[in-house]
Structure 1
Amino acid sequence: MSESEQTPPSPPRPVPADDSNIFFSVVTVFGTLFVVTVLVAVALAFGDPQIPMNQWLNRHLTTVLGAEVLFLIAAGVLAMAIDRMRTLSRMRADSQAEEDASEMSHETDA
């Protein structure tokens, strides 16, 4: 039997609470802001067109929504990239620890 068949793969380690990714919170904030902006735009569409907020949104809504979408995408990509880098780093560390433990057990067996 090969060595990989002898030992089952170890389950992934849970992420420590202090190792959280701040960009996931940023994605949540930008997503909420986007939804609120859309809801405000819909509500104002049924309101008085002479209200200053309605006039401002009529002029700038496309720009505001475009900026929010771009920030949302950027924060999402950053969050996923950072999460992936941390996961790969953790996997490398776990793999190295398993190799070290395997070498130690082979040394004690000999």
Structure 2
Amino acid sequence: MDFNNKNGISVSRSGDRETKITSRDIMFFGDVFIDNLYLGKSFQHLKIAKMSFNLGARTEWQMHSDERILIITSGSGWVQEWGDSIKLVQTGDIVYILPDIKYWYGATDKSSMNNILLSRS
């Protein structure tokens, strides 16, 4: 949804957005649900997604040309930069990832994890 509205305020209803279910596809291990909250052309191509990782689910190793911000909204997870140790993240933590850093993240083996992802589309 792009929030271009002549009235000044736009509302994106929860039921109007499609939730992508990624079950063991090329980018993820385990069950991950992605709700793209905003994929607009405004705000310098900002992308906002709500992600839910089931117990033990995680991303594949990945790298992006833009920075990423993860806001952990519930549960516990892990994040790891290539060549570094795994870091525990929990509800309320914010993870900032620089461009061109190889990393992965996801839920721990004992907890699911939900986060908001901010990036540029």
Same fold, TM exceeding 0.5?
A: no
Higher strand proportion: 2
Higher helix proportion: 1
Q: TM-score, normalised by structure 2?
A: 0.18
- Larger of the two Rg values belongs to structure: 1
Q: TM-score, normalised by structure 1?
A: 0.19
Greater relative contact order structure (CA < 8 Å, 6+ sep): 1
